[in-house]
Amino acid sequence: VKNINKENTDLYSLKYNKYNDLTAEHIFPQSFIKEYPKAKFDMHNIYLTKSKTNSYRSNYKYKDESEFIFINNNINYIKLEKNEPIVYNYYNNYLDNKLRIFIPSIYSRGSIARTIVYMKYTYENLIIENVIDINILIEWNKIYPPNKIEIEQNELIYKIQGNYNIFILQPKLVEEYINYISES
């Protein structure tokens, strides 16, 4: 288990120590969008993050902690693969290189879900399951609704790029769209 946060921040924190500490993170990894050359420039898929977080995450699949958590003496622990258990903090990000998974902070989960479904909607041949399990995506969208920053970012991107992420404007469309593509 690697807890990649040294402080309580989310995946897309704007806190930094120096200018070169920041980078652009593609939520739907570039390695999975090669069929669409312009997709790597889609601002709805790009978030500002710390360089270390971006390199740690690589193109690992997003997961939640549910299958890795256990409780001992009323304390939540997380245990990934063959590592020793550590105290779980939902404000932190976790990854397991062996399992090739990334467990994001609760602050990032809703925007991750809406970004991934936006990418599938915009670039139809993308395979969501390469990036996240469908049930987790739907759950994160429900539990973590769009926040003020996500809504403001959507407006700003519209002004620059000319399109909205409709799943931020209407989060209930996430499940409807997933059901639609599942039936197709």
Q: Which tops the pLDDT comparison, 56 or 77?
A: 77
From CA 155, how far away is CA 150, in angstroms rounded?
Answer: 9
pLDDT of residue 5: 52
pLDDT of residue 10: 47
Residue 7 reports pLDDT greater than 90:
no
Interval 59-88 mean pLDDT: 91
- Please tell me whether residue 145 adopts helix, strand or coil conformation: coil
